[in-house]
Structure 1
């Protein structure tokens, strides 16, 4: 059963991001966060005219922005409010989607450490309510800053 705690936290992080990132506001104003559990976030976005290239298909920059955004939210499921700075984004463009089609974004935080986080993202077309043909896969590495664990042991001089 999905935990509402992570979902509520992720939606709150997203709500606080809105208005602070013009590119996210332009591209992701209609994105819907569907689910979140520790380490995973699922979202959907119906493509509009602002998401496509001159051929009318999803622009590679939109896929990359989705990777950045959803990777950060997957990291946020670990209780973080700030999800760090991107170090590396690698996107493999496999297929395409057009205006009016809905894409399904699955993001997984594979490891969240004290200073680094590693995520993988899968973007696919939604077909009959289910993830269908793959649009892109990606890996995303972020620098994060978490406080060092508190020393609970006693120290001897």
Structure 2
């Protein structure tokens, strides 16, 4: 059996996906990190509350990130504050929209959070995966799940964004992202 015998025939969707998915992931990750840096440079809230948030992975429509819990993220019980999670639902929705190629990520029309377990205490890490479930010319719908260090589901949320004006931003790369599988 030759070296390429285990690969699907060239041109099949399977072989194309195997070749191009790393390119899509690299493009989306680089762009999402650029958008996150723009938030950090220009926003009032994110650099103060979520400065140590790290985007760990991205592909078109999905972003993963994590946050090391520090004192400023906690409530008076010294556990992760629900407002910190709500802020991450907001930011996460924006980053999911960015993963589809929009630099200006629109404005919030709806945000929901359901808290299921403690997110942790100072020194713990909370992880999130957010997806852009529907991406249109007017609205984008996102959903997010948070897990703690034990792998327990901590919270889930949804975030709807009005994106009509965001489509006009010259820094968008929607066409480039859409060309990728």
- Normalised-by-shorter TM-score class: 0.7 to 0.9
TM-score (norm 1): 0.88
Superposed counterparts of 1:114-129, under 5 Å: 114-127=137-150
One of 116, 119, 122 as aligned partner of 1:99:
122
Pairing of 1:39-50 with structure 2 (within 5 A)? 39-50=61-72
> How far apart, in 1, do the equivalents of 2:126 and 2:42 lie?
24
Offset of 1:21 from its aligned partner? 1.5
Deviation at 1:19? 2.6
Please state how far the C-alpha of 1:134 moved relative to its aligned partner. 1.2
Q: Distance in 1 between matches of 2:133 and 2:103?
A: 18
The Cα of 1:120 is off from its aligned counterpart by 0.3
* 1:78 paired residue among 75, 80, 100: 100
1:23 Cα deviation from its structure 2 partner:
1.3
Instruction: Provide the residue aligned with 2:111 in structure 1.
Output: 89
Unaligned runs of 5+ in 2: 1-20, 169-181
Separation (CA, whole Å) in 2 of partners of 1:72 and 1:112: 12
Please list the CA deviations of residues 33-52 of structure 1 after superposition, one character each: whole Å capped at 9, or x if unmatched.
10000000000111000000
Q: What displacement does 1:10 show?
A: 0.3
Count of residue pairs the alignment pairs up: 143
TM-score normalised by L of structure 2: 0.76
- The 2-side partners of 1:140 and 1:126 are apart by 24
Structure 1: distance between partners of 2:103 and 2:41:
16
Larger Rg: 2
Deviation at 1:17, TM superposition (A): 1.4
Unaligned runs of 5+ in 1: 148-157
After superposition, the CA RMSD in angstroms is: 1.1
2:30 pairs with 1:8: yes
Q: Deviation above 4 Å: which 4+ runs of structure 1? A: none
Deviation string 1:37-70 (CA, Å, 9 cap, x unpaired) is 0000000111000000000111111000000001
Instruction: Give the Cα separation in 2 of the matches to 1:107 and 1:75.
Output: 10
Q: Does 1:138 align with 2:157?
A: yes
Q: 2: CA distance between counterparts of 1:133 and 1:104?
A: 10
